[in-house]
Structure 1
């Protein structure tokens, strides 16, 4: 009988301990809103991921200082996808199933984001990429992905902007397209540029390709040089862009090179050198020379926090943070489905890069800029506002 009483007492104590443990965990969780960050913290495009994270952290810090959301503090749980698609998928799975986040920021690149969207759809957890511009991220076979969103404009807009810039501003009649064949981002941009440049009466003389992490581009550049185009369209990321421009100028290729937001990183000047980037232009989401008061305030806040100028990836990360914080606040809930609904209903929200409305395909309607590189410095060239 005594053994039975002792066993019963031990069982009661164990159960109390279990319940106390559960209660403690539940109490802790109720005071925190856990958001995931699936980013390229190491690897070939780590600069993009880390800068986007800096922007997100600043938005979260400001929100927490203002009291958080629903009286709760926001916590950012980061996972490093190492700039690889397979790792990005693993990171998304971990954040959802192990870390139990209610929404995810990232990844930074289109290819890595495309590798994760199905995970978010299957688990019904919103994913918001600050900088993934490929249109397939939010739309699959003509249907909007319910849980996929972005805070940047999409590739067709960039391709259209640069095709019009080539035709109208530079009066180019011929072009060669030089793409990163390992990048969905690069391929999508090339297609939209070619479509509109041709419609404008231009001729694409040829297409060449390289792969991410290539070092020597002289063979394909020799082919491009022989075609002597008015412009070369190079939709790629800063590491390869810097090396290509350096080698191209060494070969006497002085025609304008055109690019997109993948160029928008200070590292491109370190890699190419200032002079080789002269006579090159790219589209982006943000210019530090913009005098809009919201841009000015964001730059001041960022410089105070990090002691340096923000890049476009920092600005878009900050915008993504504001977009998510606003959605959770309006949803008044940490239910992923309600957060999804609120993101979808975003209208005329003031972000650092301008007013944003989320369209039916979960893409933001927003302005873009064209930037010229001159002696290693970015010079604001023109601003383009899409028709609503």
Structure 2
């Protein structure tokens, strides 16, 4: 018997006992018995129906995600990760005897659309919590909205250090982040590049956003302290098609490496033109080594490139192998950072709902703050006073057309 049916049966039993007692009292010498009995029966049915509806009502988790625009492929993986988590949870009976439901709103990786997506999820979707929003600028635009509405937000992909600064002790007590910030990732990358010994001068190419500029600021701070030089940076608007000018200049300047902080289609355009230009300057930074790059990794064109990321499907620790197998079986693609982090964030929200014993946002928020949650990678998510978790991250390098793991480090 399902939880919903069990609740209905118990409700009907208690209601039937009370009804029979009243029925006997009403029948004795009551001329208005037929009308009164009908009203009583009607109220009983309404109460039973309300009891059944409450037991059946799904708990809605919202997601703000780029489902269109240059980052749509990443947004698709983000959505898939959350969907897989919810499918697995519902197959196990849901949470608190109720099914979970995912409601996705497109944010186009745009601050204005990000704010609108949050407003829709809250006002129309009546969500209990929100996961998102992949891009840092969109995430930052959502934070004041969820704070005002009193809806918890779990940031799972956006890396701008500003998010950590503003969350928790920074003032916004409704925002939590499970992935490392660019400031933390920069430390791991700087340590690796310093140990490599041959990189001294680094150029920077990034998107003109909180992600790109935040990444540049983090690298400048960390690398400069280690004696490495990093340029002022070339920043590009999203949907930039032509990188020829900057590639030509970099070929002439010959830095030891190029730190890349672009997203989605913009990064793919840069890598295509980088390969066509035949540059032998190694890439570093936050390069996405995934199926998104259309065989560029396998071609050997970016051999020697390094990257710092919160996740790779190659990690064998924890239950990551099980997650990778389930994801490939369900969606036919290898999971990336976006799919893994969204999967983990959704499981974390469900865990908080279970511990809270409620789908009320304020109670979920309190449960999130007290989290002690084991991720599929085996990390434990606990939040500091700025609601920032400190999971491990990974250094990756392309060798012989293949992605290799060079090391894990704690953030």
TM-score (norm 2): 0.83
1:311 Cα deviation after fit: 1.5
* Residues 6-21 of structure 1: pairs in structure 2 closer than 5 A: none
Structure 1 pair 29/39, CA: closer, same or farther in 2 (3 Å)?
A: farther
Please tell me whether the aligned partners of residues 138 and 145 of structure 1 are also in contact (alpha carbons under 8 angstroms).
no
The corresponding residue for 2:151 is 125
Please tell me whether the aligned partners of residues 245 and 276 of structure 1 are also in contact (alpha carbons under 8 angstroms).
no
Please tell me whether the aligned partners of residues 318 and 352 of structure 1 are also in contact (alpha carbons under 8 angstroms).
no
1:187 Cα deviation after fit: 0.9
The corresponding residue for 2:306 is 281
1:274 Cα deviation after fit: 2.7
Q: Are 2:132 and 1:101 aligned?
A: no
Deviations 1:192-247 (A, max 9, x none): 11111111111224422222111111112222223221111112214222322332
Q: Are 2:215 and 1:189 aligned?
A: yes
Deviations 1:44-88 (A, max 9, x none): 101111111111111111111112111111111122223332222
Structure 1 pair 24/132, CA: closer, same or farther in 2 (3 Å)?
A: farther
Find the residue that maps to 2:261 and give its secondary structure.
coil
1:24 Cα deviation after fit: 5.8
Partner residue of 2:175 out of 128, 148, 152: 148
Partner residue of 1:354 out of 342, 367, 378: 378
Q: Are 2:285 and 1:244 aligned?
A: no
Instruction: Give the length in aligned residue pairs.
Output: 368
* Residues 308-387 of structure 1: pairs in structure 2 closer than 5 A: 308-347=333-372, 349-355=373-379, 356-374=381-399, 376-386=401-411
The corresponding residue for 1:5 is none
Please tell me whether the aligned partners of residues 269 and 277 of structure 1 are also in contact (alpha carbons under 8 angstroms).
no
Gaps of 5+ in 1: 1-8
1:341 Cα deviation after fit: 0.9
Please tell me whether the aligned partners of residues 243 and 271 of structure 1 are also in contact (alpha carbons under 8 angstroms).
no
Alpha-carbon RMSD across the aligned residues, in angstroms, is 2.5
Quick one: distance in 1 between partners of 2:290 and 2:247?
A: 23
Greater CA drift, 303-312 or 183-192:
303-312
Quick one: distance in 2 between partners of 1:132 and 1:291?
A: 24
Greater CA drift, 127-136 or 190-199:
127-136
Quick one: distance in 1 between partners of 2:261 and 2:255?
A: 16
The corresponding residue for 1:46 is 72
Please tell me whether the aligned partners of residues 245 and 272 of structure 1 are also in contact (alpha carbons under 8 angstroms).
no
Structure 1 pair 25/131, CA: closer, same or farther in 2 (3 Å)?
A: farther
The corresponding residue for 1:298 is 323
Structure 1 pair 209/273, CA: closer, same or farther in 2 (3 Å)?
A: farther
Please tell me whether the aligned partners of residues 239 and 271 of structure 1 are also in contact (alpha carbons under 8 angstroms).
no
* Bigger Cα Rg: 2
1:373 Cα deviation after fit: 2.6
Structure 1 pair 291/75, CA: closer, same or farther in 2 (3 Å)?
A: same
Structure 1 pair 140/23, CA: closer, same or farther in 2 (3 Å)?
A: farther
* Residues 67-78 of structure 1: pairs in structure 2 closer than 5 A: 67-78=93-104
1:375 Cα deviation after fit: 5.1
Quick one: distance in 2 between partners of 1:209 and 1:273?
A: 28
1:122 Cα deviation after fit: 0.6
TM-score (norm 1): 0.87
